A and B are shown apart, each in its own frame.
Chain A
Amino acid sequence: MTSAFVEIKNAAKSFGKLQVLKDINLTVDRGQIVAIIGPSGSGKSTLLRAINELDPLTSGEVWLEGVQINRKLPHRQYEKHVNQVRQDIGMVFQHFNLFPHLTVRGNITLAPRMLKGLSEAEANKLAEEQLTKVGLLEKIDEYPSRLSGGQKQRVAIARALAMKPKVMLFDEATSALDPELVEEVNMVMKQLAEEHMTMIIVTHEMDFAASVCDRVLFMDQGVVVEEGPPSVIFKTPKEERTRNFLRKHLARNGG
């Protein structure tokens, strides 16, 4: 037994002829926070989406707490299996993907009510708890169209947390936000970090990654070029490609 909580072994993924992930290995311990950085098209989203089977791997394995996520099973059993394991994996998208026909409450309670059989009262209590956590309790009966981008993303986080996931995946959760709204979402993520939520965070925000993450992975062209603690990756990276990427990134962001 290792302490590995999330484990990705020899992950490879192709879209047709295009090989997007090449032999990637990654282990994340319980409570660890890992950032994935890298240029556009390097396969960061694909790797994240492989973890919950949104984009299943071509080969390799994904494990969560001793359970293989991407088991090869006959269709019916496979569907049951992924529907089960996905409940343990929260995901937050760049474009929020809130359900526009449901209120904030409806967004948060839909899956817990349907999948965990919560009563209406229990589900309401859960929604209130999660919204309090992200500081949006007063918006509980609003529709998503009436929220700002930052508020939408915080509701999306609350929706994912309501399933009590074991791990949270963030795919550029702040990239679609106006700059002044980024901080409120980062605050929520920092708070999750303090509560020792296991997180894998794809991000372009190096400062944020440096301040909350235990480890940083630099990906390029479908491989993990270099990984280590943020102090090493951001200050004294060994690989030329990492240095280049960070230099260009800093130049572009005026840092």
Chain B
Amino acid sequence: MDFELILRVYPFFLEAAWVTIELSVLTTILGLICGALGAAARMSRSAILRAIGATYVSIFRGTPALIQLFIFYFGGPQIGIQLDAFEAGVIGLGVNIGAYMAETMRGAIQSVDKGQTEAARTLGMSRWETMRKVVLPQAMRMMIRPLGVNINALIKGTALVAAISVIELTYTAQRYIGSTYKPFEMFLLSGALYMIIIYVVGQGINWLDRKARIT
């Protein structure tokens, strides 16, 4: 184990970790937006919207994320959409994880007892009022943990954007292996940084979940 080397390169890895964090945050935001839209579409009264939602979910869960990323990055220019690698990474991963999040959200919403909706509708509340004031507040609490699982997968999934040369943790490790021929140290270093990020996020999710349970 070459500790001296690790000490020498780790500032560059920290910078790369920062890119991974940025990617993760933006991807989470985009994923939550796509997830909410996807879940709403899947539970819509309109058959067309339901079909669109179902298609979205099955395409993005049914194909490799790497292929999706390549389509956004390399295929985009062909149909006139120019994205830099970072943008393509955020969009590719965000739309991908959104499909999983849509299912998570739908599951949580549908797990709220049907009696809750009936009670609210019986009082005269509309579908939307019922969703907003009765179903969603209960579903939100139930979706924190499973969304945490999605976010965990997403953070690890950001490693894929190394394949389109975004200079994040995995790409940086590969680059330094090229010049140092020390794959063990380099991957260990990047792995440790991933673990720290994932640990902190996991603690955050736990905290949110606990907070939502009190009441």
Q: Which residues on A are within 8 Å of B, measured CB to CB?
A: 52, 54, 79, 83-84, 86-87, 89-91, 93, 95, 97-101, 110-111, 114-115, 143, 156, 159-160, 163
Contact = CB atoms under 8 A, between A and B. Distances in A.
B61 interface: no
B122 A114 contact: no
Contacts of A95: 115
Contacts of B183: none
Per DSSP, chain B at the interface is helix
Contacts of B115: 93, 95, 97
A97 B118 contact: yes
A80 to B, nearest CB: 8
B80 interface: no
Contacts of B113: 97
A99 B122 contact: no
Nearest to B126: A83
Contacts of B141: 101
Contact of B116 (A79, A89, A99, A159): A99
B124 A111 contact: yes
Which 6 A-B pairs have CB atoms at the shortest separation, nearest pair first?
Answer: A87-B124, A97-B119, A111-B123, A97-B115, A86-B124, A91-B122
A11 to B, nearest CB: 19
A101 B140 CA distance: 11
Contacts of B116: 97, 99
Nearest to B140: A101
Given A97-B113, A101-B138, A101-B215, A114 B129 contact: yes
Given A83-B124, A99-B138, 8 more contacts: A54-B122, A86-B123, A89-B122, A90-B122, A95-B115, A98-B119, A156-B119, A159-B123
B124 A115 contact: yes
B113 to A, nearest CB: 7
29 contacts: A54-B118, A54-B121, A54-B122, A79-B127, A83-B124, A86-B121, A86-B122, A86-B123, A86-B124, A90-B122, A91-B119, A93-B118, A93-B119, A97-B113, A98-B119, A99-B116, A99-B119, A99-B120, A99-B134, A100-B138, A101-B215, A110-B133, A111-B125, A114-B125, A114-B129, A115-B123, A115-B125, A160-B122, A163-B123
Given A101-B137, A101-B138, A143 B215 contact: yes
A79 B121 contact: no
Given A97-B113, A114-B129, A84 B124 contact: yes
A203 to B, nearest CB: 19
A101 B126 CA distance: 19
A210 B126 CA distance: 37
Nearest to A116: B124
Interface of B: 113, 115-116, 118-127, 129, 133-134, 137-138, 141, 215
A54 B116 CA distance: 13
Nearest to B118: A54
Nearest to B141: A101
A97 B135 CA distance: 12
Contacts of A90: 122
A163 B119 CA distance: 13
B125 to A, nearest CB: 6
A52 B120 CA distance: 12
Contacts of A99: 116, 119-120, 134, 138
A97 B120 CA distance: 9
Contacts of B138: 99-101
A111 B125 CA distance: 7
A129 to B, nearest CB: 17
A53 B125 CA distance: 13
Contacts of A52: 122
Nearest to A169: B122
